[in-house]
Amino acid sequence: MANVLHIVVCAGIVPDPLQTLEPVTGPAGPGLKNEMVLPAVLDPWAASALYEAAALAAKNPGSKLWLVSLGPKAKLQQVMMTVAQKIAFELVPIDGPIGGFPDAHSTAAVLAETIAALPGLDKAKLLLFGGWESATRGAGVTLQLVGERLGIIDQFQGVDQIDLRDDGSFEVLERVEGGKHQVSVCAGTPAVLGWATGNLAEPRNNPQTGMANMRTIMPALQKAKPTTLAPNGLRYVSVALPKQQRTTRVVKDLTPDEIAAELVEWIGAE
C-alpha cells in the first residue's frame, strides 16, 4: 500500500568544485573570489537527497516534493536549468546570500520558517531531506537545526537507503564506522534524513521535465523575496581549501601484482 508523503528537500547551491576556488576575506567575512560568477551546482549530498526523494515520491502516488533552496535567485535559476531537467519538483526559492559561511542557526531559522509556511504541507506526512555534509563546508548541522525548529524528533544522518513499509514505518540505513550501516526502524513520519550518497544514479536530463518544471520555477523565482541572515556574532578565524594531494610517479615495467601491493601499502599508511 502506498503512503502519501510530503517530502521537503533542503538543498543549497555551491561553487562547482571542479573550478579553481580561491578563498578571500572581504569586509563581509570569508568567501570565494568571484563567487557570483563561478559556475554553481546543487550541493552534491543534497542532490543525492533530491534524487532519492523523487524516487520515493514516484513509488508513493499522491506524494508531493518540494525543493527549498537558499541562494541568490539569479544563481538559483542557472542551477535549476540543469536540475529541473532531471526530476519533477516544486521549487521554493529563498533569495539570500551565496556561499557556505553564513551562520548555520540563522540559515536554519529561515529554512524552517519557510517550510512551516508551505501551503498544503501536512507536517504529519513530512520527510525532511537534505545533505549529510556540504561541499561548501563540512559543519553538517543546518539540516538538524531545521528539524529541531520544526519539532521533528526522529533524525537520521549519513543515510544511504530508506525502505518504506505499508504501515507507514520505514527502515533506514545510516553509515557508521568501518564501511558498515546501522539499521534503524522508525515508526513513521515526520522524520529528518540527512543523506550521504544514496544508491541512485543521477537522473538523465529530460528537456520535457525541464519545461514542465519551469512553468512553476520561473514564477517562483520571480516572487522570491530577498532574505538577510543574522550574523549572530559568528567570526571565522581562518579559512583554507583542502590541499590537493597528488603524488604522481612514472614507473615502468611494474607487474600488476607489484602495483596492487604498493596500493595496499599506500592505503594502509593513510
Handedness of CA 181, 187, 189, 190 (dihedral sign): negative
Among 25, 199, 205, 232, the residue binding other proteins under the rule CB under 8 A is 205
182 binds other proteins (CB under 8 A): no
- Least spacing, CB of residue 32 vs other proteins, in Å: 12
Cα→Cα distances 80→83, 91, 204, 213, 223, Å? 5, 9, 14, 9, 16
241 binds other proteins (CB under 8 A): no
Phi, psi of 260 (to 5 degrees): -65, -45
Our CB check for other proteins shows the closer of 211 and 264 to be: 211
- Least spacing, CB of residue 153 vs other proteins, in Å: 38
DSSP 60: S
Our CB check for other proteins shows the closer of 86 and 125 to be: 86
CB 92, CB 112: distance < 8 Å: no
Whole-angstrom distance, CA of residue 16 vs CA of residue 25: 20
Our CB check for other proteins shows the closer of 38 and 109 to be: 38
Query: What is the maximal distance between C-alpha atoms in the chain?
Result: 66
From the list 89-97, 103-111, 173-181, 209-217, the region that binds other proteins by CB under 8 A is: 209-217
Query: What track of x and - describes contact with other proteins for positions 19 through 58 (by CB under 8 A)?
Result: xx-------------x-xxxx-------------------
85 binds other proteins (CB under 8 A): yes
Closest to 16 in 3D by CA, of 34, 43, 48: 43
Among 214, 227, 234, 239, the residue binding other proteins under the rule CB under 8 A is 214
Find residue 185's DSSP bridge partners.
Answer: 171
- Least spacing, CB of residue 62 vs other proteins, in Å: 25
Our CB check for other proteins shows the closer of 84 and 108 to be: 84
Binding-residue total with other proteins (CB under 8 A): 29
245 binds other proteins (CB under 8 A): no
Whole-angstrom distance, CA of residue 211 vs CA of residue 204: 14
- Least spacing, CB of residue 235 vs other proteins, in Å: 27
82 binds other proteins (CB under 8 A): yes
77 binds other proteins (CB under 8 A): yes
CB 36, CB 98: distance < 8 Å: yes
221 binds other proteins (CB under 8 A): yes
Closest to 130 in 3D by CA, of 145, 116, 117: 145
DSSP 88-153: --EEEEEE---SS-S-HHHHHHHHHHHHHT-TT--GGGEEEEEESS-SS-S---HHHHHHHHTT--
Q: Please measure the distance between the N-terminal and C-terminal CA atoms of the chain and give it in whole angstroms.
A: 48
Our CB check for other proteins shows the closer of 52 and 174 to be: 52
List of residues contacting other proteins (CB under 8 A): 16, 18-20, 34, 36-39, 74-75, 77-78, 81-82, 85, 204-208, 210-211, 214, 218, 221-222, 246, 248
